[in-house]
A and B are shown apart, each in its own frame.
Chain A
Amino acid sequence: MESKYAIIGNSVAAVGAIEAIREIDKEGLITVVSDENVYNYSRPLISYYLGGKVEERNMYFRDKGFYERNNVKLILGKKAQRLDVNKHVVYLADETIIRFEKLLICTGGKPIVPNIEGLSEVREGVFSFTKFSDAKSMLSYIKLNGIKSAVVLGGGLIGLKAAEGLLARGLRVTIVELADRILPNTLDKEASEMLERALVGLGCSVLKGDTIIGVSTTDGVLKEVYLKSGRVIPSSLLVIAIGVRPNLDLIRGTSIGYDRGIIVDDQMQTNIAGIYAAGDVAQAKDFLTSMNSVLALWPVAFRQGKVAGFNMAGKETKYEGLFPMNSVEIAGIPTISFGLSNPQDGENYEVLVKKDGRVPLYRKIVLKDGRIVGGIFLGKIERTGIFVGLLKAGMDVSSFKEELLQDDFGFVVLPESYRKHMIVGEVIET
């Protein structure tokens, strides 16, 4: 079949692209292919589903009419198997052929599976945690077998979210993290420790500087987990959540250029004209470093998909680059981190901190040459976006930097010209 636009993957980058294409081109057929046999659910919500906080009907981030309204042909439950970049053809697993003018690859990430002895013998009890089906099968496994405890490998974002979901279901949870603290990539030691104390307060065990080297089974069902430290944890549920890496299956063996992810220019186009990539699979401009990096984050995937969509439909649009940013709530404590929140070469940066371990509250802003390059806000997170905005604007904040961490910080503190530009804008006639 022929389709002006083909999109492989049906997640947030795809939705961003569809909306952008339809702003420009109301007619050209869009075909979306996904190997997952579900409608566009929100991946970050699977931990809320696991924890019983979101019902299935609220897992979808666009309404049921979305595809029809946007004149999209949706092919679910089929994998795009092969890509011929010269002929502009995608072959699906069932040999369906899609001829396209413009292609967007947004195949996302794949869970990383570590080398663990005995893992291949496990038939039941080990899960990764990146798909809706993972959350569903984990939940039915827990209910069916009356599981009371779990081990989570990985104290990063996905591991902690899985742990949250399991804790909400009343399980005893042990988190095993190789680094010396949880969320090592996004937080600093201080913030990590505040969250860890809160998790421990909920009855969760956090084992740091350790990892899983082996597992044992009875009749194919997980029985015990062996740690590097020599510790043995009896458990019938193990969640492997040590991260994701770009899913390059479709483009390996083609002439599309990749490094960690698919390399794209600032229009989200790959080295092959007419073929674009976006989201967790793409390696695109990083706002802070101006180098290319993979940022496996929801808002990044949306923006990249949108930019790709505009360019595919002929509206030239530039991707300005984004930076790491995340908002998580662990053990009831909201935490937002963004940018360079924990620079290693400390002497080149100025760091402003305000904290109160009892509440807990932690606010940190990292400055370089008078400009905000990162921060951590834990406990109280309202208005954090102003700082993210100042980072993006590249605003020199040195003249009012002692105000930044004050409780009443706001636009009133900012220079009048910037404030008026931001909050009033252009008014022609009043």
Chain B
Amino acid sequence: MRRGSLVEGIKRVIVREEYCMGCRLCEIHCITQHSKSKNILKLFKGEEPKPLSGIYFEERGPTSFALQCRHCDDAPCLEACIGGAMYRDPITKRVLHNREKCVGCWMCIMVCPYGVIKADHSEKKVASKCDLCIEAGFPACVENCPNEAVILIDQYGRRVLKEG
């Protein structure tokens, strides 16, 4: 069975809505992964400010799914960003966001056809979106989805698994 590589080329997280049970664990693990302590208990006991999750969780009747940045091949957010804050990582090809350069102009929100960029007002106004867990190396939402509804695929549509 050929599997996608974790290292090269664009990856995206997709959701198979038929498998999604609506538990929203993906959001909780996303928030935890992007927090300072990365400690789920501290975070949800309110011991530190919660970051925004990189996920828009959509739900209507029996249908639910998690939606996050697609790391588009031809990403309109990169073209619209007046701050030079959105950039493509030259190696992993992820679309990443530099908070320091961001001016909160919301041009990216205007052009992202997936509507997956949030406006973060916690400190200065900045855009906020999924970074595919750049620090951890593997997306927390994928790793923690109990029903494998959220999966990672490469640019050829092949599933990518966590190594080891």
Interface residues of A (CB under 8 A from B): 16, 42, 44-45, 48, 53-54, 58, 60-62, 298-299, 302-303, 306, 325-329, 334, 336, 338, 381-386, 388-389, 392, 408, 410-413, 420, 422-430
List of B residues within 8 angstroms of A410 by Cβ: 56, 58, 67, 115
Q: Is the interface of A mostly helix, strand, loop or mixed?
A: mixed
User: Is B83 within 8 A of A411, CB to CB?
Assistant: no
- Per the bound structure, the CA–CA distance linking A62 and B82 in Å amounts to 11
List of B residues within 8 angstroms of A327 by Cβ: 105-107, 109-110
List of A residues within 8 angstroms of B59 by Cβ: 412
Cβ 8 A contact of B79, one of A44, A60, A302? A302
User: Is A45 within 8 A of B113, CB to CB?
Assistant: no
Asked, given contacts A16-B79, A424-B14, whether A54 binds B103 with beta carbons under 8 Å apart, the answer is: yes
User: Is A336 within 8 A of B113, CB to CB?
Assistant: no
User: Is A422 within 8 A of B114, CB to CB?
Assistant: yes
User: Is B110 within 8 A of A384, CB to CB?
Assistant: yes
Interface residues of B (CB under 8 A from A): 1-2, 12, 14-17, 56, 58-60, 63-65, 67, 70, 76, 79-84, 100-101, 103-107, 109-115, 117-119, 151, 153, 156-159
Having A334-B106, A384-B110, A385-B115, one finds 8 other A-B pairs with CB under 8 Å, namely: A58-B101, A60-B84, A381-B119, A385-B111, A411-B67, A426-B157, A427-B153, A427-B157
User: Is A423 within 8 A of B118, CB to CB?
Assistant: no
Closest A-chain residue to B98, C-beta based?
A58
User: Is B82 within 8 A of A298, CB to CB?
Assistant: yes
- Per the bound structure, the CA–CA distance linking A44 and B2 in Å amounts to 47
Cβ 8 A contact of A329, one of B2, B60, B106, B159? B106
Cβ 8 A contact of B65, one of A381, A383, A412, A428? A412
List of A residues within 8 angstroms of B113 by Cβ: 385-386, 388-389, 392, 422
User: Is A48 within 8 A of B56, CB to CB?
Assistant: no
From residue A3, how far is it (CB to closest CB) to chain B in Å?
25
- Per the bound structure, the CA–CA distance linking A244 and B80 in Å amounts to 20
List of A residues within 8 angstroms of B111 by Cβ: 299, 325, 385, 388
Could you name 13 residue pairs across A and B whose Cβ atoms are closer than 8 Å? A299-B107, A327-B109, A336-B109, A382-B118, A382-B119, A385-B114, A412-B60, A424-B16, A426-B157, A427-B157, A427-B159, A429-B159, A430-B151
User: Is A45 within 8 A of B157, CB to CB?
Assistant: no
List of A residues within 8 angstroms of B119 by Cβ: 334, 381-382
Closest B-chain residue to A299, C-beta based?
B80
Closest A-chain residue to B79, C-beta based?
A302
List of B residues within 8 angstroms of A329 by Cβ: 104-106
